[in-house]
Amino acid sequence: MTPNVELPMELEPEKLLGKLAAEAGDAPVPGATWYAVKDTGDGLAYRIPVGALAKASHLTADLLVDGNRTVVFVLELREGEAGSAFGLSFSALNQCQARLRMPLEAVDQNRWAYEREGAWLKPRCLGDRVDLSRVDRMTITVTAKSDQPARFCLTPVTATAEEPERLTSPTLPAGPIIDKLGQSALHEWPEKSRSADEVTGRLKGQLDAAGSHQFPDGWSQWGGSKEIRFEATGFFRTDQDGGRWWLVDPDGCAFWSAGMDCVRVDTDAVCGGLETALEWLPEPEGEYREAHTHGFGRQRHINYLAANFIRAFGERWHEKWAQIALAELRRLGFNTVANWSEWQIARDADFPYVRPLDLRRGDTPRVFRDFPDVFHPEFEAEAADFAKQLEETRDDPAFIGYFLMNEPTWGFAKEIPAVGMLYNTPSCETRRALAEFLKKKHGTDSGLARAWGMDVKLAEVAEGEWKTNLPPAAETDLAEFSTVMVEKLFSTLSAACRKVDPNHLNLGARYYTVPPRWALDGMTSFDVFSVNGYQQRVRPELEELSAYVQRPVMIGEWHFGALDVGLPASGIGHVRDQKARGQAYRVYLEDAAAKPWCVGVHWFTLYDESALGRFDGENWNIGFLDVCNRPYELLGEAALASHGRLYEVATGETAPYDDEPEYLPLLFF
């Protein structure tokens, strides 16, 4: 029974968790209390009248994180002391007021990511689906921080019936947080650019040197090894040599893909609602108009890297950027322009490249997160339209292949697709196909009821609102059908792509980790199996995966960052400094090259993310270049050293580099 609660309802913490300490004194955010953080796990605990959130639409609070390093939080809603728990992970820009505006619809787990708003960064759903009528407690805890002291202030959390107002004029206790060149104004480091003239001089020097950079001796025009030859087909393909998987370049040379993701003018940052946090925001019209972008979401964006190039080169700035960017890859020995890039500049330069395809253009309904209704009659047409993206590159020898998608969000869910569909989509063709699947397996309603150990009818599975908890026997059937869903998804897309483009490699779906068996069994239509791998080395279990699917493996993303160059967060991989980034690069890449089932690794990304935060709020030190196009020389020297001996390591002539740096606790969100 829902209690008689008036909204808005203000929630005050019942107790402090861990070593969190409340501090006296005024906070810069009205109504907020200062808290000092000692360790991860510190936080605040709240009690909520049972059912009080059932009629609310949002939870909201204002916060401000002190210092200049990232602190990551999780807000958790729980059904009783040991019940199901929903989590929302988020962070906030340092020294800038942020407003948490959590839609309570999120507890259905039908959406993984919500849009960052101003200084409130990267809200992501975790954990279980919960029933708001049963939720009686909440916690807000710190889940990641640097080794420096952390401090934040927070107002009471309020449950509201209506959507809270967005914050448009945040408090900035330290003044603007981004300088005129796009760098953090909250940090100092030795290599920080000091003037626009310095940046312009650097860019012009890089352009002058661009023509002198070439691939290492012994490499083909594509970046393959001239010493290891296969049949030339005019396109990239896969082959095996004595049990070792290779990519093969158009001229028949063995090719191992050392790739760079996001070869684009990639420091785009959300500035909507944060205009006062910037020392300089160029006018949206006139000379700097191309520095203003729309990016993802509904908010205004600014790109300071573009502004720095415009200042140096005027109207032809993008052409000059492309020359410098490709020259930088050659200088460092990268042979692949990898995912999320302006692949057109690679095509025009005959530089090997991959490209992502976009499944968000069709009208097929989604049944759980981004999983399409694959049995819907429109899905075949959507797949055919999806494949048309390949028409413009199907005859290009520099094109290695395509990714069908990236990190599908249904893969991040605790619930498998068939289960998520049952709870979130009352009517769809794939639910009806599930009912037919269960009918073939169990026969009648009574057969299904016996198998599942519950009172259930096939018609209830086929359509209607589903609220009933599922027993383990049901989970087994739904895992089998999730495999059917995954196979239908990828075989349909793969066949459509092969029809349009029979020449290039299907590089898979860039799963965020090693897929569970129910997903893996549906992923049989790829030429190369791609996963994103943010570990200290490539995952050893990928050897078993490669053998199981009988395909080579490619790592679509990996990186290491540090906190010594003006960014508040390191990225997913975390080491002490730029020298350690170079060591970590060499260990990872050469370990991967030595694996006979691995055919490439692609670093994420060419540029650091903006200190202001990209579309979702990430602001990580993960680039080979910063926002002022200054190379990280120690990282670059390490990469060049590894790339120069890449094929010797891959053939076993040389042992892989193994001087590990100190790996630090993860600091990302």
The pLDDT value given to residue 91: 98
Q: Is the pLDDT of residue 581 over 70?
A: yes
65 and 94 in contact (C-beta within 8 Å)? Answer: yes
> What integer is the mean pLDDT of 137-155?
97
> What integer is the mean pLDDT of 185-207?
98
> What integer is the mean pLDDT of 6-17?
97
Q: Give me the chain's average pLDDT, please.
A: 96
> What integer is the mean pLDDT of 641-646?
98
Distance CA 538, CA 272 (A): 38
The pLDDT value given to residue 548: 97
Distance CA 314, CA 633 (A): 27
Tens digits of residue pLDDT in 104-126: 999 999 999 999 999 999 999 99
> What integer is the mean pLDDT of 368-372?
97
Tens digits of residue pLDDT in 582-632: 999 999 999 999 999 999 999 999 999 999 999 999 999 999 999 999 999
Banded model confidence at residue 3, pLDDT cuts 50, 70, 90: low
Up-side HSE of residue 644: CA atoms within 13 Å toward CB? 10
Place of tokens 């993860």: 666
Q: Is the pLDDT of residue 1 over 60?
A: no
Q: Which of 228, 275, 279 is nearest to 251 (CA)?
A: 228
72 and 95 in contact (C-beta within 8 Å)? Answer: no
Banded model confidence at residue 360, pLDDT cuts 50, 70, 90: confident
Distance CA 226, CA 447 (A): 63
Place of tokens 């970046």: 223
The pLDDT value given to residue 2: 59
So where are the chain's domains? 9-160, 209-268+305-410+487-650, 413-483
User: 209-268+305-410+487-650: what CATH class?
Assistant: alpha beta
Residue type, 663: Y
| 659 torsion bin: left (phi>0), alpha (psi -120 to 50), beta (else) | beta
The pLDDT value given to residue 293: 83
Distance CA 25, CA 393 (A): 62
Q: How far does Cα 510 stand from its chain's mean position? A: 11
Say yes or no: domain 9-160 is CATH 2.60.120.430: yes
Tens digits of residue pLDDT in 46-77: 999 999 999 999 999 999 999 999 999 999 99
DSSP for 144-171, please give it.
EE-SS-EEEEEPPEEEESSPPPPP-S--
Tens digits of residue pLDDT in 285-304: 999 999 998 766 678 999 99
Other C-beta atoms within 10 Å of 115: how many? Answer: 16
Q: Is the pLDDT of residue 496 over 60?
A: yes
CB within 8 Å of 646: residues ≥ 6 apart: 256, 258, 333, 589, 590, 593
Report pTM: 0.97
Structure token pair of residue 459: 């018609």
> What integer is the mean pLDDT of 305-321?
98
Tens digits of residue pLDDT in 244-285: 999 999 999 999 999 999 999 999 999 999 999 999 999 999
Q: How far is CA 529 from CA 182, 394, 490, 600, 605, in A?
A: 37, 20, 12, 11, 21
Place of tokens 């710190």: 142
The pLDDT value given to residue 590: 98
Distance CA 540, CA 550 (A): 16
Distance CA 89, CA 114 (A): 10
The pLDDT value given to residue 361: 62
Structure token pair of residue 93: 């820009």
